Amino acid sequence: MNTSCARRLPFGLALAGLLGLLACASTQSTAPAPRALPAPSLPTIVVPETAASAAERVYYAQTQETLLSSGLLRTDGGGAEARVNADKLTRNFLKIALYDEYDPALNGLVQKEAASRLGRWAKPVQVSVEFGPSVPPLKQATERARIGSYLARLATITGHPIGLSGGRGNFVVFIGSVDERRALGPRIAQILPGLSGDLVQGITNMGHANFCLVYVNSDDTGAVKDQALAVIPSELPDLMGLMCLHEELAQGLGLGNDSRTARPSIFNDDNEFATLTAQDELMLKMLYSPELRPGMTEAEARPIVESLASRLLGGET
C-alpha cells in the first residue's frame, strides 16, 4: 500500500430544492383528488457549536475577507490569462502529475517535493460524503448537491466514471468541525487501513497552515489509486469551502502536486483561484488519456504529454 497526500488552503453556492406534488382529479372520476403531501421538514441541529469551532469560524471568515480584498479566490476560470500554449501546458502537467507535494520518505508530514510516477484511478471513483453531527441538515443537503454537480463535471472532463456513491464509497469526503476532526482517528483507520499513527495525527490535528487536505492510497505499484479521504472543515466560509472541494477532489484524482509556476491554476499555493481553471481542465483530460498509463516516469510520459498538449491546443507552441 502506498499513500500520497496533498494539502491546500482552499465554497460557491449549490441549490437544494424540494419538489411539490401536484394532483388533479378527473372530471369523470368519483374518487376524491389525492391530497398534496406537505414538504418534509428538516430536523434541527442537535449538537451546538463549541467555543473551539466558533473561534475557527471567525478565523476562516477573516482569512477569506483578506484573500478577497487582495484579488484572490477567483472563480472566472482564468480569465484572459487562461490561454496557455502547448509548452506551458506540458511543463505544468509534468510538474503537477509527476511530482508529489510531500516526500513519502518523510512520512508525508513535511512538505518537500519529490519525483513520482503518473498515478490515477482505474476503477470508478465512488464518492461518499460524511458529516460531523454538528453540521446542520440544510448545509448537508447543500454540500451534497454541489459535490454531486462538481463530480459530474469531473466525469465529463476526464471521461472516467466519477460520481456520488449510494453506499460506501472508495473516496470519502468528511466535513466536520474542529472537534469532530480531532476525534476522526478511528474512522480514518477504517477508510485508510495501515496509515501510520503520525499521518493519522497529521489529519486529526491539521492546523491553519493546512485548511483542508486529501490522502490517497494506491495499490502495491504506487500508481493505481484505490482509496482516498478528503477532510474539509465545516467552519470554512462558502468560497473557501468551494476552493477546498475543487482542489482536493481534483488532486485526489491524480494531480497531486502544487506548483508556483502553474498559472492560471488551482494547483498553486497562492490561492489566486478558488475553482478549476481552463488549464486545470486540460490537465485532468490529459491525466486520463488512454495514451498515458499509470506508473509512467516523467521521461516516459513527456513525449506523449507534448503530443497531447499540442493536439488539445490546436498545435500551438
More confident position, 174 or 101: 174
How much is the pLDDT for 13? 32
How much is the pLDDT for 21? 30
Q: Domain residues of the chain, as ranges?
A: 2-10+72-312
The pTM assigned to this predicted structure is 0.83
DSSP letter for 44, please: P
Measure the N-to-C terminal CA separation of the chain; round to a whole number of Å: 39
Per-position DSSP letters for 246-305, written without gaps between them? HHHHHHHTT-----TT--S-SSSTT--BSS--HHHHHHHHHHT-TTS-TT--HHHHHHHH
How much is the pLDDT for 41? 45
For residue range 112-122, what is the model confidence (pLDDT) as tens digits? 677 889 999 99
How much is the pLDDT for 82? 81
Residue 285 in this model has a pLDDT that exceeds 80: yes
More confident position, 287 or 211: 287
For residue range 230-269, what is the model confidence (pLDDT) as tens digits? 999 999 999 999 999 999 999 999 999 999 889 999 999 8
Q: What percent of the chain has pLDDT over 70?
A: 81
Residue 8 in this model has a pLDDT that exceeds 80: no
